[in-house]
Amino acid sequence: MSGIAVLGRIRLSYLVVAVFVAMAVLAPIIAPHDPADSDLFRRLQPPFWMAGGEAGFPLGCDALGRDILSRIIFGTRISILVGVVVVSAATVIGVLAGLAAGYLRGWVDVVVSWMTDVLLGFPYLIFAIGLMAMMGPGLLNMVFALAYKEWVVPCRVVRGETLAARETEYVEAARALGASRRFIMLREVLPNILAPVLAVATIRVAQVIILEASLSFLGLGVQPPTASWGSMIADGRGYILDAWWVSTFPGVAILLLVLAINLAGQVRRRDDHG
């Protein structure tokens, strides 16, 4: 692919991500309406380019007469928040666990590996659903449930990298100089294994956003009247016969954001290899 084309792709995907982040941050300012403002006269109003639509409600309204565009803008907050918080927490825990397992080995490794294997034995959604059945639905519980399964991903990566790094010269040198184990782990090994961890984290944010949407779609995540893209799609399900826009536009938002994140992550990796 020519240099310009790659450059174009980077810029576009980073731009899109930046736009979404801006939407999340500036939501109260840029949203045309209050996302919880329900006006039954506007029930299932079509988007502005269709008959019966209004420019003031560009993407139409849902079954409770709430502006879809505003809800999508506020929904950005949930998606990005959940994605970033879950992956960040999971990465911190996973890195520490992986470092400990990979470097200290022995019973620490056995326990961590066992926990990892057990957690990996659950298909993703099943585990989250099981936990949420126990804890009840809601945003906070969902973040906890997702993070609980998510930490094994960076943990495995870090453990593998640590195992490899253990045998390198710079670690042996540090050991010879009498450095403590903790010192070696945190100051010598960690900086060198961060690159793959960050690469994985990027992809995982995209995946977690989709998972959050799925859980909210099933009704287990965010609770009304909070707007999450997933729950918006669920709301529109009953109306696909006459009001397709209620379910469609939130999904477009998910697709755009996730696609942009994946593209941005991909291109960055290709740059590293270039």
Partner 1 sequence: MSPAALLTRLLHLIPVLLGVTVVVFLMMAATPGDPAEVMLAGQQATPAQVAALRHDMGLDRPPLERFGLFVGHAVRGQFGQSLFHRRPVAQVIAERLPATIELSLAALVFALVVAIPLGVLAAVKRGGWLDRAATFGTLLGVSLPGFWFGILLLIGFAVQWRLLPVSGEIDYDAQPPGVTGFLLVDSVLAGRLDSLLNTLAHLALPAITLGLPMAAILMRVTRSSMLDVLRQDYITFAEAKGLSRGRVLLVHALKNALLPTVTVAALETGALLGGNMVVETVFGWPGLGRLVVESIFVRNYPLVQAAVLLYAVTFVLLNFCADLLYTILNPRVRM
The answer for residues whose C-beta is within 8 angstroms of residue 48's C-beta and 6 or more apart is 54, 55, 57, 58, 59, 60
Instruction: Report the DSSP beta bridge partners of residue 67.
Output: 61
Q: Which residue has the tokens 């022995």?
A: 106
223 to 242, contacts with partner 1 by CB under 8 A? 230, 233, 236-237, 240-241
- Single out the residue of 129, 139, 163, 179 in contact with partner 1 (rule: CB under 8 A): 129
Question: What is the distance between the alpha carbons of residues 45 and 184, in angstroms, rounded to a whole number?
Answer: 62
**How many residues sit in the footprint of partner 1 (CB under 8 A)?**
45
- Single out the residue of 64, 84, 89, 218 in contact with partner 1 (rule: CB under 8 A): 218
- In the bound state with partner 1, the residue whose beta carbon lies nearer, of 33 and 77, is 77
Residue 138 in contact with partner 1, rule: CB under 8 A: no
Question: What is the distance between the alpha carbons of residues 12 and 26, in angstroms, rounded to a whole number?
Answer: 21
**Cis peptide bond N-terminal to 225, omega within 30:** yes
Binding mask 184-213 for partner 1 (x = CB under 8 A): ----------------------x---x--x
Residue 16 in contact with partner 1, rule: CB under 8 A: no
- In the bound state with partner 1, the residue whose beta carbon lies nearer, of 96 and 246, is 246
Residue 82 in contact with partner 1, rule: CB under 8 A: no
- Single out the residue of 126, 164, 173, 198 in contact with partner 1 (rule: CB under 8 A): 126
- Closest approach, Cβ 102 to partner 1, in A, equals 19
Cβ–Cβ < 8 Å for 30, 77: no
State phi, psi for 227 to the nearest 5 degrees: -95, 115
